[in-house]
Amino acid sequence: MTSCRVRAPWVVPVAGPPIADGVVIVGTDGRIAAIGSAGQFGVEEGQSQNFPEAIILPGLVNAHTHLELTGFDELAPEDEFPAWIRRIRALKADRTPAEFLAAARLGVKQCFAGGITTVADTGDSGSVIQALAELGGSGMAYHEVFGPHPDQLKESMAALRDRAGELRAFAGSRVRLGVSPHAPYTVSGPLYSAVTRWSEDMGYPLAVHLAESWAEQQLVVSGDGPFAEAWAARGIPSIRKQALAPAPPRSPVDWLDRLGVLTPQTLCIHAVQVDRKDIACLRSRGVGVAHCPRSNRRHGHGSAPLAELLQSGLRVGVGTDSVASVAPLDLWAELRAAQSLAGQNAEETLRLGTLGAAAAIGLSEEIGSLEPGKWGDLIVIDGGDFPQGALLDRVLETKRQEVQATFVGGREVFRRPARVP
């Protein structure tokens, strides 16, 4: 790959102040070689692209996606969350492996078009890690494992080992494989513990849906509610019977902490139903958190205490969840929703979709800001001659269709079609 040089009236590195008449130079290794004002550099070498009315940013980092569900827009209208889950399972059961892969490929391309260069994706089809590898994307692909009955432990672990062995072929420097024991309502205590031990032995990062809904809270704490009723109908022993201490868990966070699931390698997805004790526990374990404000709102989960999560010092990023929850995938809209929820300024909010999200998934040394040595993942958005004081506010107003170009490792993966006069 040849080196590239991208120039615009403004470059927003995130790790430092905006640069007027800025240039980002990406070397032949796909990493940023230099960044600064145009006047600092001499003769342009390699590919040079000038965007005269634009702003250059780090590529957005989507802290939670389900790209294998691409195409399920508006196909699961159920309001009750457990009913919605059942509908998604039915939709997935009717989709073939080839259809999952086609959906994942389309989902990755839609991310590129929306300014997203890295995703932290969870799914059980294996299609997303393949699509990312084929299309030159960047991300974490957490392979899901299920098994709410303790008797499913051996079968679930055997299937996970076999599938992970197959999917490793798609992993590389830009695409990493992880594992995801799905959620407290789909995974038994013994399976949680076994997956966590195995992932640590294998060096795989972990992702869990946690403290998302009130129905999950009921299942774990009081043993009632719709998830508990579904378990009872299937003969699955309650969490109280699986608990590792005389007293039942006080919360889903407490339950997973008892099982040893919460570590610095764990990404906790949603974290809506959490209190101060839960937040203190999450912080003490060093986990990352993926916050999905519009998905939480759509399913009636309420709003996560985002300000408190951030004030605690947790690594927090923003994600879109799936198009089956909110369509289309729009991380810009998620960031604006997060800003309203947390009361942050524009600079702080932008970090939630860049460097903060990169930190949440353990990749902040590689992506999330424009700095020499990091991957040359950058996007170009519409922008005129703004005063610096208004620049970041303008950035947060960005609409998906205002992304002009997207680069991953210095390679152009999206270019907006020319507009017809």
Residue 139 CA from chain centroid, whole number: 9
For the question of whether the overall pTM of this predicted structure is more than 0.75, the answer is yes
Could you give the CA distance from residue 15 to residue 12 in angstroms, rounded to a whole number?
A: 8
Name the amino acid, one letter, at 51.
F
Retrieve residue 346's tokens.
């524009």
The radius of gyration of the chain from alpha carbons, rounded to an integer in Å, stands at: 21
pLDDT at 43: 54
User: If you write DSSP's letter for every residue of 146-185 in order, what string do you get?
Assistant: -B-SGGGHHHHHHHHHHHHHHHGGG--SSEEEEEEE--TT
pLDDT of residue 223: 92
Q: Is-cis flag, bond preceding 328, omega within 30?
A: yes
- CA 45 to chain centroid: 35
| CA distances, 275 to each of 2, 38, 266, 268, 278 (Å) | 51, 49, 19, 15, 5
Own/partner pairs, 92-101, CB within 8 angstroms, 24+ separation: 92/68, 92/125, 95/125, 97/125, 97/127, 100/68, 100/125, 100/126, 100/127, 101/125, 101/127, 101/130, 101/131
Q: Which helix (H) or strand (E) holds 36?
A: strand 32-37
Tokens standing for residue 28: 């032949």
- The residue whose two tokens read 């764990």 is 266
- CA nearest to 62, candidates 405, 288, 317, 402: 317
Pairing assessment for the beta strands 32-37 and 19-26 based on DSSP bridges: antiparallel
Under the phi-then-psi rule, with left for phi > 0, alpha for psi from -120 to 50, and beta for the rest, what region is 242? alpha
| Each residue's pLDDT expressed in tens, for the chain with a length of 421 residues | 457 899 999 999 999 999 999 999 999 999 999 999 998 886 555 557 999 999 999 999 999 999 999 999 989 999 889 999 999 999 999 999 999 999 999 999 999 999 999 999 999 999 999 999 999 999 999 999 999 999 999 999 999 999 999 999 999 999 999 999 999 999 999 999 999 999 999 999 999 999 999 999 999 999 999 999 999 999 999 988 876 666 789 999 999 999 999 999 999 999 999 999 999 999 999 999 999 999 999 999 999 999 999 999 999 999 999 999 999 999 999 999 999 999 999 999 999 999 999 999 999 999 999 999 999 999 999 996 677 778 999 999 999 999 999 999 999 999 999 875 6
Choose among 344, 353, 351: nearest CA to 307. Answer: 344
What is the structure's pLDDT at 420?
A: 58
pLDDT the model gives residue 221:
94
- Residue 401: how many CA atoms within 13 Å on its side-chain side? 2
Give dist(CA 99, CA 271) in Å, integer: 31
Map 91-142 to HEC letters: HHHCCCHHHHHHHHHHHHHHHHHCCEEEEEEEECCCHHHHHHHHHCCEEEEE
Show the domains of the chain with their CATH numbers: 4-59+369-415 (2.30.40.10), 60-360 (3.20.20.140)
Exposure string for 392-407, b = 16+ CB within 10 A, e = fewer: bebbbebebebbbbbb
Tokens of 59: 């590529």
Tokens of 111: 């991310």
Closest CA to 312 of 333, 351, 337, 282: 282
**Which residue is associated with the tokens 């608990």?**
243
pLDDT of residue 39: 87
Q: Do 218 and 80 contact (CB within 8 A), yes or no?
A: no
CA nearest 296: which of 323, 274, 330, 270?
A: 270
Distance, in Å, from the CA atom of 245 to the CA atom of 368, rounded to the nearest integer, reads 41
Q: How many CB atoms lie within 10 A of CB 90?
A: 11
411-415 vs 403-408, strand pairing mode: antiparallel
For residue 421, what are its two tokens? Answer: 């006069």
- pLDDT number for residue 242: 77
